[in-house]
């Protein structure tokens, strides 16, 4: 005999189905599934301010397979001019040399991050702002890469980033390893006046001059960034440095190039608010633009199951605050790298990346809301040559 709760549930289900059937008959609907989908799409599709509604994920624009655009934003055909977007999202499905262990799977991160993003809207009660009220966002999908040629892949990254900048948008790149960041900054420098400052969230200096025969290792982006003419190396700021995966030679090289180091001990003593204010001031000194690059291991491993195993890191709220504050000051680009979906069954690190980008976008929205009362200038304060 079936239990009463199960029978009650079936009675409620059948009653609801009867009401729905009668409603469809009134409107002449004969194909319930298709009709329900169309009714849903016409009324609720892309309601990004309401994340907890039935069927939302299936209503979002699809990039490929079952993968939606990041946060359900516009799918942008990048073969055509993409004008009017404050930010364009781009996935980088790239895995270069592995510096520890074996294959990390970080080239799969663009897909896992997009799927995680379907859970969220753009309203953050802690700031009292919905980023979609102020920002127009688009997703151009994943760029192509050449698995057999790191050099060719880096050229593609630079080309795609350059097109994003020439469209008047700020790039938010995500997925892949840390090797491609210099190419985004190179693209920024090729089309703007003024120097560039860089705020680098990471457990490691990532300034290795070489790694075997690889010209573009994931442990060496800061070395390549410091060599870009448009970058002011004294305006490079390391935030979150810690642990025994660093070397004395890397520490000395960071000092030699003039970079500022805010290690985890200093952050714990001074507080993240003071450190980020100092970071902004240093990155802004003698520059016109700030680029932000985030390696997932800046966060303590306890909160970053799909990232490198580095303990004693930042807490998520410290990163979220930092990105929001920096973006309120204006940025010209951002990337979030080193997420390994194959070791993260619940995609917690992909969700972490989405939260981080939402807080950054909220900062940009807050800046735009503030700037709307003053003469308009491009997001991030970029001036094209």
Q: Is 54 part of any domain?
A: no
Question: Distance (Å, rounded) from C-alpha 57 to C-alpha 118?
Answer: 6
Please list, in sequence order, all residues whose beta carbon lies within 8 angstroms of the beta carbon of residue 197, skipping any fewer than 6 positions away: 231, 232, 235, 236, 237, 282, 283, 284, 285, 286, 287, 289, 290, 291
pTM score of the predicted model: 0.85
25 and 73 both lie in a single domain: no
Q: Is the pLDDT of residue 380 over 60?
A: no
Q: Is the pLDDT of residue 261 over 80?
A: yes
Please, which pLDDT band fits residue 82 given cuts at 50, 70 and 90? Answer: confident
What DSSP letter does each residue of 187-204 carry, written as one string?
A: HHHHSBSS-EEEEEE-SS
Picking from 1-10, 184-193, 200-209, 264-273, which range would have the lowest pLDDT averaged per residue?
A: 1-10
168 and 26 both lie in a single domain: no
Q: Is 221 part of any domain?
A: yes
40 and 83 both lie in a single domain: no
116 and 206 both lie in a single domain: yes
Which candidate, 291, 279, 286, places its Cα nearest to that of 240? Answer: 279
- 161: domain CATH number is 3.40.800.10
Q: Is the pLDDT of residue 145 over 70?
A: yes
194 and 221 both lie in a single domain: yes
Q: Is the pLDDT of residue 284 over 60?
A: yes
Q: Is the pLDDT of residue 29 over 90?
A: no
Q: What is the rounded average pLDDT of the residues 225-253?
A: 97
The per-residue pLDDT for 159 is: 97
200 and 232 both lie in a single domain: yes
Question: Distance (Å, rounded) from C-alpha 13 to C-alpha 20?
Answer: 11
The per-residue pLDDT for 383 is: 36
103 and 30 both lie in a single domain: no
In this structure, how many other beta carbons lie within 10 angstroms of the beta carbon of residue 146? 13
287 and 209 both lie in a single domain: yes
Strand partners, 125: none
36 and 84 both lie in a single domain: no
The per-residue pLDDT for 34 is: 57
The per-residue pLDDT for 48 is: 57
Helix, strand or coil for residue 220? coil
Q: What is the rounded average pLDDT of the residues 32-42?
A: 53
pLDDT in tens, 292-331: 999 999 999 999 999 999 999 999 999 999 999 999 999 9
Q: Is 53 part of any domain?
A: no
195 and 315 both lie in a single domain: yes
Domain count, the chain: 2
Determine contact, residues 273/317, Cβ cutoff 8 Å.
no
Angle, nearest 10°, between helix axes 32-44 and 4-26? Answer: 80
The per-residue pLDDT for 38 is: 56
- Domain of residue 374: give its range: 61-381
The per-residue pLDDT for 116 is: 98
Q: What is the rounded average pLDDT of the residues 363-367?
A: 98
40 and 70 both lie in a single domain: no
106 and 36 both lie in a single domain: no
The per-residue pLDDT for 33 is: 55
């Amino acid at each position: 005999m079936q239990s009463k709760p199960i029978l009650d549930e079936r009675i409620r289900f059948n009653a609801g189905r009867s009401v729905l059937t009668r409603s469809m008959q009134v409107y002449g609907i004969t194909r319930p599934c298709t009709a329900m989908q169309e009714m849903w799409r016409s009324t609720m599709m892309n309601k990004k301010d309401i994340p907890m509604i039935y069927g939302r994920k299936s209503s979002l624009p699809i990039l490929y397979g079952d993968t939606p655009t990041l946060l359900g934003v516009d799918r942008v055909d990048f073969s055509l001019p993409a004008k009017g977007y404050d930010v364009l999202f781009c996935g980088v499905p790239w895995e270069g040399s592995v510096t520890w262990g074996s294959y990390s799977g970080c080239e799969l991160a663009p897909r896992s991050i997009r799927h995680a993003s379907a859970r969220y809207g753009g309203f953050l009660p802690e700031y009292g702002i919905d980023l979609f009220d102020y920002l127009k966002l688009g997703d151009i999908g994943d760029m192509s890469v050449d698995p057999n040629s790191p050099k060719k892949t880096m050229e593609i990254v630079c080309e795609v980033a350059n097109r994003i900048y020439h469209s008047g948008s700020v790039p938010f790149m995500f997925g892949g390893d840390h090797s491609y960041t210099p190419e985004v900054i190179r693209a920024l420098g090729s089309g703007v006046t003024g120097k560039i400052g860089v705020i680098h969230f990471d457990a490691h200096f990532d300034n290795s001059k070489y790694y075997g025969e690889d010209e573009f290792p994931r442990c060496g982006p800061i070395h390549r960034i410091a060599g870009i003419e448009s970058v002011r190396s004294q305006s490079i700021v390391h935030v979150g440095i810690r642990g025994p995966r660093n070397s004395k030679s890397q520490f000395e090289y960071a000092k030699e190039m003039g970079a500022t180091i805010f290690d985890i001990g200093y952050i714990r003593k001074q507080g993240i608010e003071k450190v980020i204010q100092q970071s902004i001031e240093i990155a802004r000194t003698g520059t016109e633009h700030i680029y932000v690059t985030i390696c997932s291991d800046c966060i303590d491993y306890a909160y970053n199951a799909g990232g490198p195993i580095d303990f004693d890191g930042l807490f998520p709220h410290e990163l979220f605050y930092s990105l929001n504050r920096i973006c309120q000051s204006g940025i010209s680009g951002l990337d979030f790298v080193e997420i390994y979906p194959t070791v993260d069954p619940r995609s917690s690190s992909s969700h972490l990346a989405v939260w981080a980008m939402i807080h950054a976008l909220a900062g940009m929205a807050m800046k735009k809301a503030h700037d709307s009362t003053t003469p308009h200038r491009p997001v991030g304060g970029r001036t094209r040559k």
